[in-house]
Amino acid sequence: METKPYLIALDLDGTLLKDDKTISAYSLEIIKKAKEAGHIVCISTGRPYRSSSLYYRQMNLDTPIVNFNGAFVHHPKDKNWGTFHTTLDLEIVKEIIDKAEKHHVHNILAEVKDRVYFHQHDERLLDVFSMGDPEMTVGDLRENLGEDVTSILIHSDEKNVDKIRAYLSDVHAEVVEHRRWAAPWHVIEIIKKGINKAVGLKKIADHYNIPAERIIAFGDEDNDLEMLEFAGQGVAMGNAIDKLKSVANKQTKTNEEDGIAVYLKEALSL
C-alpha cells in the first residue's frame, strides 16, 4: 500500500449513529471501504463497552476501543493489549453523593466498568442503561459501592445542573472532570481529572504508530472537544454544538445525512 494509513475515530451518538441509534447502510459501506484501503477504524465514545459492542461487531472492527470518554480503554479481541481503567476515588464519590442529595437530585448512578449502581429505582433511566444487559444494583451508593468507580452520573432538574457543576468546579476541580449530557437529559457526567477521549485515542494512535496529523476524528458534543483538537482532521458533524464547530478544523453533514461517509469518501478518495 503506497498511502500511509489514517486512524479514523468515530463517536457514536449523534455522530456515527442516526437518531434511531442505527448505522446507515451507506456509512457501513464506506467504513468497510476505508478498512479495505488499509485505514484503521476505531470507536471513541462516552458509552460503556456493553452498549457499544453491538456497533463494534457490526463494523467488524479489530481495534482497541475508547469507552467512558477515555476512562476505560481496552482491546476487545486482544487480551494482551492491556486495559487502561482510570477510576474516581470512592471517598470523593461519597462526598459528591452527599452534596447531590442536598440538591434533591432525581438520581445518582455509578458505573464500575460494566456494572451499574442506581442510588434509587428509576424506570426512565433503567431503560437507557439496560442495553448490553449489565449487572444492576439499586440502593444507597454509599453502602453498595465497595471500590473506586469509572464514572458517576447525576440526574437533576435543569435548574440545579449549573449549581452542582459549580460545586464540582469549586471543591473537586483537582480530581474530577464533569460534562453535561445533551438534551433532553439533564445529566452531569463525572470522570477522573485529566481524562477525555483524546487521552484514550492517543493510546490507540501510539499503538499503531500513527501521528496526530493522520488522525481523522468525528464528533458532535462537548465530550468530543479534546479529541477533535487532538486530531489532525477534527471533523464536527453538521448537527454538532457551536462550541465544537468552532474548535473543529473541518465540518461535514449531519448524522442523519451520512456525514461521516460523505467526509471519508472524499478525504480518502474511496
> Could you list the active site residues?
11
DSSP letter for each residue of 18-69:
-TTS---HHHHHHHHHHHHTT-EEEEB-SS-GGGTHHHHHHTT--S-EEEGG
Helix (H) or strand (E) holding 246, with range, is helix 242-247
Which residue type, as a one-letter code, is found at position 157?
Answer: D
The SS3 of residue 73 is strand
Q: 233, 7 in Cβ contact below 8 A?
A: no
- The rounded distance, in Å, linking the Cα atoms of 89 and 108 is 16
- The rounded distance, in Å, linking the Cα atoms of 109 and 104 is 14
User: What length does the chain have?
Assistant: 270
Q: 235, 15 in Cβ contact below 8 A?
A: no
